[in-house]
Structure 1
Amino acid sequence: MTDRKAELAANLAEVEERIAAACAAAGRAREEVTLIVVTKTFPASDARLLSELGVRHVAENKDQDAAPKAAACADLPLQWHFVGQLQTNKVRSVVGYADVVQSVDRAKLVTALSTAAVRAEREVGCLIQVALDAEVGGRGDRGGVAPDGIEELAALVAESPGLRLDGLMTVAPLAGPYAGEQLEAFKRLMDLSTDLRSAHPAANMVSAGMSADLEQAVAAGATHVRVGTAVLGVRPRLG
């Protein structure tokens, strides 16, 4: 276990250097960017070690993995982010541990989240997942709502009991005009964030960038980056 902790500490230090350098290059304070470590497929023991190393934000994308892991780490000062596509039948479980759901992309999901949050007497932060590869009025291949659907969905979140509208999230698209253009994609997300904040000033969280493109996300202005592989290593193969 000591070897694993040393490995994670070294990886975290490298990621920290990358974030700090990206912030310096962009003329931003390091404090403006929050690291979320994506712990999906890795054990609760890793989340515990990360907590000991000072990590405060972790993310998961599948409830069946996340729920027992969050329960095993309930004594730790961790904030749990749910970043995967979320089915309504998993909402009640997710609301039990997730502080923020970053993948809100349809009205039916908002309604389910609100009902579950009120029942659990919790306030759950919500990010609208934006699909930059979606056509007008559509949804993207990796989840998310088209940019023209943000305003309506954000208004629904803002007026739903038990929910807090925190901002926007995106995954760099694999298709469409922004395919392979991460910096431009993230700049587009920042423009959409500016529009959102004109109506909802507190919704200032912008989650973008992963291990391979966190520099572009920081350059564009992201407030949160979601890093898995660069911290935890290559994910175990499943099946």
Structure 2
Amino acid sequence: MIARREEIAASLAEVERRVEDACRVAGRVRSEITLIAVTKTYPASDVRLLAELGVSDIGENRDQEAARKAADCADLPLTWHFIGQLQTNKVRSVVSYADLVHSVDRLRLAEALSREAVRSGREVGCLIQVTLDPAAPSGRGGVRPEDVPELAGAIASAECLRLGGVMAVAPLGEDPGEAFARLRGVAEAVQKEHPSANVISAGMSGDLAQAIANGATHLRVGTALLGRRKLFVR
């Protein structure tokens, strides 16, 4: 466990250096950026080590794994981010632990989240996942930019939901900077109509600098913090 803590600490220091360098180049300050540690396939013990090292925002892609880890770490002051594609039959479980859902990309999902948030007496933050692939759906989900205003309005008016902003993944094979510049334009249009929706969730291990240069407020970093994915062991 000591060796794993040292490994994560070293990786975290390197990620922080990269974030600070990118902020300096972009003329931004580090405090504008929330670092989300994506712990998919890693055990709850890694979440605890991250918390010891000062990382309190945890991202998960799959409900079954996320629910177990959230329960195992319920004693820690963590913010849980659900960042994977979400089916409506998983909404009840996700609402029980997630503070911010990054992958809202259809009205039916927003309606289901609202119903479960009302039922559980929780307020759930929602980000609209935007597809940045101009040619065809990428397979990663997401609403096209021209359809974002309608979904934003629906989330903003839904009971027990909070419209936080937007999220996207840079399309494979495209310059991330160009993709994130388009996302920034979508985000600015959303914030013009909904001033409190100021979150831009963009940037992962390989493209966090480009995301920061284009206004990202939340980075979703897994590999650079925890290493290459492996089979999940609780």
Q: TM-score, normalized by length of structure 1?
A: 0.95
Output the amino acid matched with 1:143. G
Q: Does the Cα contact within 8 Å between 2:133 and 2:171 map onto a contact in 1?
A: yes
Does residue 156 of structure 2 align to residue 162 of structure 1? no
Output the amino acid matched with 1:180. E
**Structure 2 portions without partners, runs of 5+:** none
Change (3 A) 1:40 1:164: same
Equivalents in 2 of 1:169, 1:231: separation in Å? 20
Q: C-alpha displacement at 1:173, in angstroms?
A: 1.0
Q: Does the Cα contact within 8 Å between 2:123 and 2:161 map onto a contact in 1?
A: yes
Q: What's the counterpart of residue 145 of structure 2?
A: 147
Post-superposition CA distance 1:179-238 (Å, at most 9, x none): 421001111111111111110000000000000000110111101110000000111057
Q: What's the counterpart of residue 231 of structure 1?
A: 225
Equivalents in 2 of 1:6, 1:237: separation in Å? 21
Q: How many residues are paired up?
A: 232
Post-superposition CA distance 1:90-134 (Å, at most 9, x none): 000000000000000000100100000011100000000000115
Equivalents in 2 of 1:37, 1:99: separation in Å? 14
Q: C-alpha displacement at 1:147, in angstroms?
A: 0.4
Equivalents in 1 of 2:227, 2:64: separation in Å? 22
Q: Does the Cα contact within 8 Å between 2:42 and 2:231 map onto a contact in 1?
A: no
Q: TM-score, normalized by length of structure 2?
A: 0.97
Equivalents in 2 of 1:148, 1:237: separation in Å? 38
Matching residue within 196, 202, 214 for 1:208: 202
Q: Percent identity?
A: 61
Q: What's the counterpart of residue 216 of structure 2?
A: 222
SS at match of 1:96: helix
Q: Which has the higher contact order (CA 8 A, sep 6+)?
A: 2
Q: What's the counterpart of residue 72 of structure 1?
A: 72
**Structure 1 portions without partners, runs of 5+:** none
Q: Following TM superposition, where does structure 1 have runs of at least 4 consecutive aligned residues deviating by more than 3 angstroms?
A: none
Equivalents in 2 of 1:60, 1:134: separation in Å? 27
Equivalents in 2 of 1:94, 1:187: separation in Å? 30
Cα RMSD for the two superposed structures: 1.1
